[in-house]
Structures are given as C-alpha cells and as structure tokens.
Copies of this chain bind each other. A is one copy, B any other.
Amino acid sequence: MSGSPKFTLRWGILATGGIAEAFAKDLLVDPTTRDTHDVAHKIVAVGSSSSADKSKEFIAKVGADSSVIACGSYDELVNLKEVDIIYIATPHSHHYENGLLALEAGKHVLCEKAFTVNARQAAHLAKVAQAKKLFLMEAVWTRFFPISKEIQRLIHEEKVLGEIHRVFADLSMVFKRDPNSRLYSPDLAGGALLDLGIYPFTWAFMTLHDHPDNQKTKPSVTASILKSQLTPVDETTSVTLTFPKIHATAHLTCSMTSKTTKPYCVTIQGEKGDLQVAPAPYRPEQFVLSLHDQEPKTFDFKIPGQGLFWEADECARQIRDGKLQSERFSLQDSITFMEVLDEVRQQGGLTYSEKTEGVRADA
C-alpha cells in the first residue's frame, strides 16, 4: 500500500488485422515484467468495420477477457463511454479518416504509422486534437524501446561518437509481386516508402533530426524512386537527407524486392567510430559500438514480448499527466516527418488518388 493508485488506460482497438493483434497481446502483458509500475492497460473494446463477430474472434484470439465489448462498426467503438483512447490499426490510407472519427467522438488517439498519407492530413489531425484537447500520437513504437533511448543518450548526451557524420539505414523485405495486394495498391497508399521506409527515416530522425545541435531543423531531401512494373507504387526507394546545421547526412533505402542485409541495418558514423544496429530496424535488440582502435562492444536489449507496450506506456503517462502530445515524438515531429516523405514522393513522381491524398474542407 505504497504510492498513489496505478493509472489504468482503457483502450479501444480499431481494426482487427495483424498489427492490432500484436498490439492487443502486448497490452495484456503484465507491465511489471518490463519494470513498469506506474501505469497499466485495459482493453475494453474492439471494433471491426465488417461485423461484431470478427471483433469477437479477435478478442478470443488475443486472449482478452470475454467482457471486452465487440463492436461491429468503428462508429460504435469510438462512441463507447468506457473507452479512453483509440488505437488505430487500419492501413495508412485510412488513418486520416479514422483519426478524425475518433477525435471527433472525443477520444484520445494512438495512430499507427505511416501517420497519414501526407503532411496536410497530419496537420489536420494535429489541429483537431489540439482544439479538442485530446492526446494524439503516431505509433512510432521503435522510439520508445529502451535500446533506442540508450542509443540516443550515448550519441547525443555522452557523445561517444563525437561529431556525427553519416547515418545509413535500410529496411527491405521481399514481398510477392502481386498487383492485388495492399502493398501494390495505389488506392491504399501502397509502396515501399510508407510501409518500410518509415523505419529508416525514423532512425535518421532519432539520430540527426533529434540531435540537440540540429534544433529540429528539417533536412533537405534528395530522392530516387524506382516504381514497380505492376502498379504505379514505389518498389525501391533511396533518399539522402542532409542536415546542414550539423553537417551530417542520412542515406536511407527501402525495397520490396530485396532483404535488408546482415549483420547491420543501421549504421551511425561519427568522428570517433561507428554504432551499428542489428536487424530488424523496427525491433532492434542489439547494437555494436566500434570506436576507432578499440575492440567492438556488443550491447543486448532483450524485448519481453513484441515491444509495442512501451508506446502504450507513453500514452498512459502523458494522458495521466494531462499532456496532449509526447515530447519524445511530438505532433510537429510527425508533421515534419510527413513533409519529408511528401518531398520524397514529389521528387520520385509518386502520387496517390485525390481520394487517398485529400483532406476535408475544414482542414
């Protein structure tokens, strides 16, 4: 009987696909196993766009309590008074509309990445959340891992690499070349960039954009896109971001036709040596610090589950404290991030339909 009562955040899960399943399972993991004692989570409802039965199946599959409410529509879900926060797990082509739906119903929101299809949509979501005094965050889970925080501490506070010169990051996975799949669909904002590229970009943002001396200055962008021969989405994309304030560059690649090579997927190079992260870049468990003329040192950070719970903990703490956004990845960070992705697509000649790219008249 010590301390104040634990704050428990009550979640509504919007959509029932793979990422929703992984997130829900992580919400059910006892927070103390990750040394989290101040906040807790409760799944109170799940919503499917097609039927309540699908939600029921989902609840059973993830092993949630049978008291969890199964909704047959997103409307029903976002209007439940029992729900504090909506976790949006639809394809990114739908995040903007789903986000508006939840915010307009007065719910806090954690929205999967890519946050939206473009920066205009991101800015509108942020504007609505601020106006309604609701918490809103992009679900950049990788940022909230202890390993990511430790890497940022080492390079930004301890400055173990000295001046940082270059960052390389790649996320590539071989997908079946199927014109009917989500990833090849221009209407669902398919392509490598918004699905895979966001991770290499996240590393560039964590290391260079967030560098204290960069003062959150937006980088300049040089981008090259190789479109698929099946549909007009990007199959292989390559980007250089230049951060003039810190005289550093990021070299980012993603592809749907190759696999990220081993042993490293992220390399941060500074005047004193390199820090290299082992795959996968979205869920790193190991990095190696190789300072010039020293033996490389390996650091391991095992993840007690999938690792999506740390971003959930962040939401709980911010909402408990009455904050509307996370300092670790603010709404302005999300908007800047989307502006950079917009610039990449613009240079590569990649646009989606107006239906997918559009914003509401009041945006």
Complex interface bits, A251-266 against B, C-beta within 8 A gives 1, otherwise 0: 1010101110101100
Q: Which residue from B224, B247, B261 sits with its C-beta under 8 Å from A264?
A: B261
Tell me which residues from 250 to 307 in chain A have a Cβ below 8 Å from any Cβ of chain B.
251, 253, 255, 257-259, 261, 263-264, 267, 269-271, 274, 276, 292
CB pair A271–B249 under 8 Å, yes or no, is no
Residue numbers in B under 8 Å from A142 (CB-CB):
none
Q: A236-B165, A236-B166, A240-B238 are in contact. Are A249 and B224 (CB under 8 A)?
A: yes
Residue numbers in B under 8 Å from A188 (CB-CB):
none
CB pair A258–B224 under 8 Å, yes or no, is no
Instruction: Judge if A242 is at the interface, Cβ distance under 8 Å.
Output: yes
A241 to chain B, nearest CB (A): 9
For A221, the closest partner residue in chain B by CB is B224
Instruction: Judge if A128 is at the interface, Cβ distance under 8 Å.
Output: no
Instruction: Judge if A353 is at the interface, Cβ distance under 8 Å.
Output: no
A235 to chain B, nearest CB (A): 8
Residue numbers in B under 8 Å from A236 (CB-CB):
165-166, 249
Complex Cα distance, B274 from A44, in Å, reads: 47
Q: Which residue from B223, B258, B269, B271 sits with its C-beta under 8 Å from A166?
A: B258
CB pair B249–A226 under 8 Å, yes or no, is yes
Complex Cα distance, B264 from A197, in Å, reads: 22
Complex Cα distance, B241 from A238, in Å, reads: 10
Complex interface bits, A221-236 against B, C-beta within 8 A gives 1, otherwise 0: 0111010010000001
A94 to chain B, nearest CB (A): 30
A159 to chain B, nearest CB (A): 16
CB pair B238–A249 under 8 Å, yes or no, is yes
Task: List the 10 closest pairs (A to B, CB-CB), nearest first.
Answer: A222-B224, A224-B240, A258-B269, A238-B240, A165-B257, A165-B258, A166-B258, A261-B267, A238-B251, A236-B249
- A165-B258, A166-B257, A258-B274 given; 12 more Cβ-contact pairs under 8 Å: A165-B236, A165-B257, A166-B172, A166-B255, A222-B347, A224-B242, A224-B249, A238-B251, A261-B264, A261-B267, A261-B269, A263-B263
Can you list 7 pairs linking A and B with CB atoms under 8 Å apart? Answer: A166-B172, A166-B236, A166-B253, A166-B257, A224-B240, A226-B249, A238-B251
* A residues with CB within 8 A of B: 165-166, 168, 172, 222-224, 226, 229, 236, 238, 240, 242, 247, 249, 251, 253, 255, 257-259, 261, 263-264, 267, 269-271, 274, 276, 292, 347
